[in-house]
Amino acid sequence: MRKVIVQKFGGTSVADTEKIKNVAKTVIKEKENGNDVVVVVSAMGHTTDYLVKMAKDLSPDPSGREMDMLLSTGEGVSIALLAMAIQAQGYEAVSFNAMQIGIITENVHSKARIIDIKTDKLKKNLKEGKIIVVAGFQGVTEDGEITTLGRGGSDTSAVALAAALNAERCDIYTDVEGVYTTDPRIVPKATRLDEISYEEMLELAHAGANVLHPRSVETAKQFNVPLRVRSSFKTENLGTLILGVDKMEIYKPVTGVASDLSQARIVVCDVPDTPGQAAKLFSSLAKEHISVDMIIQSYARKVSNTNDIAFTIDSSDLDKTIKTLDSLKKDLNCGDIQVNDNIAKVSIVGAGMIDRPGIASTMFQTLADLGVNIKMISTSEIKISCLVDKDDAERALKALHKVFELEGDETAVVKGDLPDV
């Protein structure tokens, strides 16, 4: 039986007709390898920005339904053009939008989740030897309403299609050459990883590495779809393979380091030490769709019988958070609320740190040697994150990258692909 390979090309990779011709060549090469090929594409270059601008001209707050109708046209253009480019090279190709295939999502606009993918049409066309070009980022409800998947949408479309077709692999072609030990824009000696586990990739993504949206990695992990992140422009490089930790050979305790400059820390002081206070606080934030990252609550002070609860959020949610907390202050019966957005989170990630003692102390000692003050610490099985002053982040990152032996000889220069929306 022939193997199915799903390929995904982002907006930068199909930004103009010359680039689309190059994508066609990459697609055909995979077909020539003897595989069945399904290609997922995003909207061309800055199409989405242009469409959003027109919408904003017409309405300060356009309806989610019509916004999804509008944005879904972007991929409609790129799929047809790519199918034509493949046909022009003498290969059979056919494009489908999400409605034609039946990429079924929840009935939610601008950030719908895929709940089912019909495979009849896909399998029939693959059987006929055709290369299939699919619109990423979009879906359709059972009632025929057009939806979009939100950030990381096209990657998620590709992974979900790979899962539905039981594909051999899902190749995410992008502007970067793979997953690096850290951001090469900050640390030029960052090295490309040949392999990384889903779990590590997720921790790195959440820690601020922008190669893949966590959602697509989660979907790949859930369905055990091997993901390859590779360059659209240097297709001879195999990039980085993301797969189950059980299939990896772990050779270093730390796989990557990352910094996230977009966080803000909130400390809610003197919260009375009675049950349900933390639940009240964080459920109020959740109701406002504010994602909380690190949370620290220390022992209750004996004299006042109160706690300080500290947590971090994305800076873009800062105003909303302060508003929510202000309205909650009386109910919580707490003291001051302190805000600090001059902070950064520095993390080390590695499946190899499990059962290997001393990794945390090496991290803390490295920061201490630099004179970097640690404001908060949080850990998971495969990640240790420290909150530091924003000005210290770059020094900390470079030192950690070196001390955990992640440096390479080459200098990597990469830039990010255009995100969906």
Alpha carbon 252 to chain centroid distance? 24
Angle at 140 between CA 139 and CA 146, to 5 degrees: 90
167 lies in the site for a copy of itself, by CB under 8 A: no
54 lies in the site for a copy of itself, by CB under 8 A: yes
Pick the binder of a copy of itself from 15, 52, 99, 296 (CB under 8 A).
99
**Residue 183 beta carbon to a copy of itself: minimum distance, rounded to whole angstroms:** 35
Pick the binder of a copy of itself from 15, 22, 46, 84 (CB under 8 A).
84
- Do residues 117 and 156 lie in contact, with contact meaning Cβ atoms separated by under 8 Å? no
Alpha carbon 200 to chain centroid distance? 12
Closest CA to 309 of 288, 321, 294, 319: 294
Place of tokens 């730390």: 254
64 lies in the site for a copy of itself, by CB under 8 A: no
73 lies in the site for a copy of itself, by CB under 8 A: yes
Closest CA to 22 of 169, 236, 239, 235: 235
**Residue 55 beta carbon to a copy of itself: minimum distance, rounded to whole angstroms:** 6
Which range binds a copy of itself by CB under 8 A, 72-80, 157-165, 227-235, 290-298? 72-80
69 lies in the site for a copy of itself, by CB under 8 A: yes
403 lies in the site for a copy of itself, by CB under 8 A: no
| Class of residue 410 by CB neighbours under 10 A (exposed 0-12, middle 13-18, buried 19+) | exposed
Would you say 87 or 340 has its CB closer to a copy of itself? 87
Pick the binder of a copy of itself from 4, 85, 309, 384 (CB under 8 A).
85
Neighbours of 143 (CB within 10 A): 6
**Residue 69 beta carbon to a copy of itself: minimum distance, rounded to whole angstroms:** 4
What are phi and psi for residue 44, nearest 5 degrees? -65, 130
Which range binds a copy of itself by CB under 8 A, 93-101, 176-184, 230-238, 310-318? 93-101
For residue 380, give the 3-state DSSP assignment.
strand
Neighbours of 262 (CB within 10 A): 13
Pick the binder of a copy of itself from 146, 196, 313, 346 (CB under 8 A).
146
Give the containing element (helix H, strand E) for 101.
helix 98-101
Pick the binder of a copy of itself from 22, 100, 366, 379 (CB under 8 A).
100
119 lies in the site for a copy of itself, by CB under 8 A: no
Q: Which amino acid is at 83?
A: A
Binding interface with a copy of itself (CB under 8 A): 17, 20-21, 51, 54-55, 57-60, 62-63, 65-67, 69-70, 72-73, 76-77, 79-81, 83-85, 87-88, 93-95, 97, 99-100, 121, 144-146
